[in-house]
Amino acid sequence: MRFPKIAAATSVVLLAAACGGNSESGGGEADSLTVWVMGTSQEPLVEYFEDTEARFQESHPGVSVEVEFIPWPDAQESITNALAGGDAPDVLEVGNDQVSSWAAQGALMDITEQVEGWDAAAGIDPKALEYGTYEGVQYGVPWFSGVRTLYYRADWLKELGHEPPETWDELVEVAEDIKAEYEVPGFAAPTDFTNGIASFIWSNGGEIAVQNGDTWEGRLTDPATVEAIEFYAGLTTDGISPQDYVGQNELIALADMANSELGMYIDGGWALTSMEEQAGDPSVIEDIAAAPIPGAEGIAPAFAGGSALTVFTTTEHPDLAFDLLTVLGDEEGGKGYADVAGFFPAYPHLLESEEYQEDPDRAAAATQMQNTRFFPTTPRWTAADQDNKILPSAVLEIVQGGDSEKVLEAANEELTSILNEPVE
């Protein structure tokens, strides 16, 4: 297995000559296949791919697997260049919320029939598998997932006689007690935080948008959605969450949590490493624990972020590329990558094991992983959320004093319009 220039350069796009074009053309077996993985190289990941290559070569001896790490900020340009005829992979990792967008642009191969004949697919979370489709066609297979949970100061809650909050009422009660006792904000509710806001909406029975036939309908004006958004915005206007977080995303709360300046906030497991780096007193990290996100009446659903494995449309060996995808994405391969990368496998029954449920660092997320949701499966979701920030902007306007009914009516019209724009 070769990792082109990985040790020397992980912050730039690593494009090697080895790709689909390095394989034999025509009907012969390929000499090599290339996998593009998003992120940067780390020794545990290198070891994982070495094991993957060995497993793959049990069925395809002599075919090497070449792995190239593409930093996430460079992914758009790299895939676009590959579509234009540049160096391209055979197997490609994309964010699970990007499958429909790249499928619409012609970057991904239709793997519907292959997935239907793949035994391991029966054990994958069906909702996650469906999220890899676009217009009824399967383009991606879940590789791993990650969810956000509620981080809290376990020592403070113990001193206050509280368990981690499981409902909105309990969240407010615990946050108020933290502020009264420790003179720091009890909870952070940043307004530029679609993933967090969505959990509040879903937990109250609301929706962001639903598909009716070929048409998308915004649901930001539905009573359950409105109530959830008003509650989330009210956390700031009522003083539970400080004004400093208005207009900000969850990253602003990370340093506060790591330095005993905040009692609770929502973030993913990947945040712990950053907390360790930013903590003035490293021992504080030992007192930070996680629990499922509290909802209106119980655990709130969380967006199941993660990545999908796809076959790039220009591969010269589609069947072989899909075989490699199955080695990466079956229970052994999917769990193996999730473990070394700090995420969770896409196979729900694996999360029920003691390995996840009894590990204090992973138990909350493993439980949260069993209550997940997904954003609208359309290429236009990126335009609605990342480009136009429709939901965060509406929450921001309400926090700043806007009339929620008028704000959400306008936001809903914009959301519906953007989701129904033609896909270029």
Give the DSSP per-residue string, 212-280.
ETTEEEE-TTSHHHHHHHHHHHHHHHTTSS-GGGTT--THHHHHHHHTTS-SEEEEETTHHHHHHHH-S
Domain limit, last residue, from 351, 372, 393: 372
Mean pLDDT of the chain: 92
Report pLDDT for 370.
87
The verdict on 216 and 244 lying in the same domain is: yes
Report pLDDT for 37.
97
> Does residue 141 come out as left (phi exceeding 0), alpha (psi in the -120 to 50 range) or beta?
beta
The verdict on 209 and 346 lying in the same domain is: no
How far apart CA 231 and CA 237 sit, in angstroms, is: 10
Domain limit, last residue, from 336, 352, 372: 372
Domain limit, last residue, from 354, 372, 390: 372
pLDDT at 13 over 70: no
The verdict on 327 and 414 lying in the same domain is: no
**Residue at 130 is within a domain:** yes
Report pLDDT for 364.
94
**Residue at 1 is within a domain:** no
Length of the chain: 424
**Residue at 424 is within a domain:** no
Report pLDDT for 5.
34
Provide the token pair at 138: 């399967």
How far apart CA 287 and CA 116 sit, in angstroms, is: 46
Domain count, the chain: 2
What's the pLDDT band for 33 if we cut at 50, 70, 90?
Answer: very high
Q: Name the least confident of 8-22, 38-52, 122-136.
A: 8-22
The verdict on 96 and 133 lying in the same domain is: yes
Q: Which residue has the tokens 């809290």?
A: 152
Report pLDDT for 390.
98
What's the pLDDT band for 423 if we cut at 50, 70, 90?
Answer: confident
Report pLDDT for 170.
98
Q: What is the mean pLDDT of residues 395-411?
A: 98
pLDDT above 90: percentage of residues in the chain: 85
Report pLDDT for 318.
97
The H or E element that residue 67 is part of is strand 64-70
Report pLDDT for 28.
53
How far apart CA 27 and CA 5 sit, in angstroms, is: 30
The verdict on 164 and 262 lying in the same domain is: yes
Report pLDDT for 23.
37
Q: Which residues form the domain of 291?
A: 148-302+379-419
The verdict on 297 and 394 lying in the same domain is: yes
The verdict on 262 and 189 lying in the same domain is: yes
**Residue at 164 is within a domain:** yes
* Residue 190 contacts residue 200 (beta carbons within 8 Å): no
Report pLDDT for 139.
98
The verdict on 65 and 140 lying in the same domain is: yes
* Residue 193 contacts residue 239 (beta carbons within 8 Å): no
pLDDT tens for 377-386 read 999 998 999 8
Report pLDDT for 273.
84
pLDDT at 274 over 50: yes
Helix then strand count (H, E) for the chain reads 18, 14
The verdict on 165 and 244 lying in the same domain is: yes
**Residue at 223 is within a domain:** yes
Q: What is the mean pLDDT of residues 217-242?
A: 98
The verdict on 49 and 87 lying in the same domain is: yes
Q: What is the mean pLDDT of residues 74-89?
A: 94
pLDDT at 264 over 90: yes
Bridge partner residues of 307 (DSSP): 95, 144
What's the pLDDT band for 169 if we cut at 50, 70, 90?
Answer: very high
What's the pLDDT band for 251 if we cut at 50, 70, 90?
Answer: very high
Q: What are phi and psi of 149, to 5 degrees?
A: -135, 175
The H or E element that residue 298 is part of is none
Provide the token pair at 418: 């953007």
The verdict on 174 and 292 lying in the same domain is: yes
Q: What is the mean pLDDT of residues 114-143?
A: 96
- How much is the pTM? 0.85
* Residue 50 contacts residue 2 (beta carbons within 8 Å): no
Report pLDDT for 313.
97
**Residue at 9 is within a domain:** no
**Residue at 4 is within a domain:** no
pLDDT tens for 87-98 read 999 999 999 999
Q: Domain holding 67: CATH number? A: 3.40.190.10
* Residue 281 contacts residue 203 (beta carbons within 8 Å): no
The verdict on 398 and 330 lying in the same domain is: no
How far apart CA 211 and CA 416 sit, in angstroms, is: 10
Report pLDDT for 4.
45
**Residue at 2 is within a domain:** no
Report pLDDT for 1.
61
Three-state DSSP state, 291: strand
